[in-house]
Structure 1
Amino acid sequence: MDYYVYILFDTKTNDVFYVGKGKGFRIDHHENDAIESEKTEKIKALQKDSRFGKRIVGRYATENEAHAVETVLIKWVYGFDNLTNKVHGRYSALIRTMGDYENIPGIDVEYAPNLNDGSFTKAQQEKFVKNNIEAKLESIKENIEPLLEDTEYSVSEIVGKSPSDTGLWINNPSMDVSIRLKLPLAGRTISPEFVSTNTDKESKARFTEAMAPLKINNGSVGSYIGLQNYLERAGIKKDIEVRPGADDIDEIFNVVTFMMEQLQTKYS
């Protein structure tokens, strides 16, 4: 079986500090990570004392199976706060948090969203449920919230008052630009956008300035620019998914990190 889930741990205490999923030699790559992080610092410290360990927990026929086990280990078995993982994992909103024994709607009892306010047609309601739109957005929200800690940014509740509004907003009160993660009802990919949050002429002018040197058409209310257009017009060459898969939590995390960095640069 090609796919597996593995752990990195302290061989003296058996304390696990990272859970991962991969195939081939993925388990061996962390020791050579070029980017400094809490995980790499932990690895170096343990290697210095000859206490660094790594083991495969299980092997699986499909990547989806491996993703499921990885998320269960991160959230329920070891606990996200006890690990150095950046994200909780795919569909993490559907996995109980370690130590939480309360009755949780959506986990203990599956429920259908209330979309009967007239804004969704019957076909659109069926797509919303069939394509797991709510679970995907809840999982994305849970995984990017740690990124927003100790910042002015906040993430909205799931917006789903109409099919065109389905997604998440990442806002900063000191900025006139927000990040929108739009998820169409097909549920396959996320469309990341920079969006002007004000409608007055002065605010829209600041949106143009913030996105400089881009050429933004601010002739209408709610000006926005997708990530792909932003990269192309700004001449930025970066290996990043402009439409990450709705299940690709790691890539969505990277996209949000990049977009926040761009806003911080332009507003600082």
Structure 2
Amino acid sequence: MIRKFSKEVIEKLKYYVYIYSDPETEEIFYVGKGLGNRVFSHMDSMEDSDKGRYIRRIQERAQQPKIEILIHGLEDEHTALKVEAAIIDLIGKEKLTNRVRGWQSGVFGRVEVNQLISHYEREKVRIEEPVVLIRVNRLFRYEMTDIEL
């Protein structure tokens, strides 16, 4: 199995977004963004995470995860982060081993049209009484359950 890109390939790839999937089921279990040989960095990782355990289970079957590059040639990390987040939103974080939805998904990620309009057409409020502001975590999303919130 290939574990390293050549310098020539790295120069052409630039930033990219990749996926790991189970070779038997074709089920995608991880989405990531990278530069250089980042795509291969998870293969020997001994980290105790859902992703690490999933990779080790595949390797225990004498197989390797299927690794695919979804898009490459991206000029900057910002674009790669947005593409990665969109893919995670499309597949659904609950079906993946990714720890988070993706970069700024709560702001720019998958959202119903009505919620998007409400966000951008919201009215400014004038608060005249003393208040306490409780900022909800940056990971807030409209479809969160009460427990998640």
Same fold (TM over 0.5): yes
Query: Cα offset for 1:104?
Result: 3.5
CA RMSD, Structure 1 to Structure 2 (Å)? 2.8
In structure 2, relative to structure 1, the CA distance for the partners of 1:27 and 1:139 (3 Å cut) is: farther
Per the alignment, in what secondary structure is the counterpart of residue 43 of structure 2?
Answer: helix
Per the alignment, in what secondary structure is the counterpart of residue 33 of structure 1?
Answer: coil
The alignment status of 1:86 with 2:95, answered yes or no, reads no
Amino acid at match of 2:140: E
2:124 to 87, 99, 115: 115
Percent identical: 29
- Which has the bigger relative contact order, CA under 8 A and spacing at least 6? 2
Amino acid at match of 1:54: I
Query: Cα offset for 1:54?
Result: 1.0
Query: Cα offset for 1:53?
Result: 1.3
CA distance in 2, matches of 1:18, 1:139: 24
In structure 2, relative to structure 1, the CA distance for the partners of 1:35 and 1:58 (3 Å cut) is: same
The alignment's TM-score, normalised by the length of structure 2, stands at 0.70
CA distance in 2, matches of 1:56, 1:96: 22
1:199-246 per-residue CA deviation (whole Å, 9 max, x = no partner) reads xxxxxxxxxxxxxxxxxxxxxxxxxxxxxxxxxxxxxxxxxxxxxxxx
Per the alignment, in what secondary structure is the counterpart of residue 32 of structure 1?
Answer: coil
CA distance in 1, matches of 2:114, 2:136: 14
Query: Cα offset for 1:109?
Result: 6.5
Q: Do 1:4 and 1:66's aligned partners in 2 also have CA atoms closer than 8 Å?
A: yes
Amino acid at match of 1:20: G
Please identify which structure carries the higher helix content. Answer: 1
CA distance in 1, matches of 2:136, 2:88: 17
Stretches of structure 1 that go unaligned for 5 or more consecutive residues are: 120-136, 156-268
| Equivalent in the alignment of 2:67 | 54
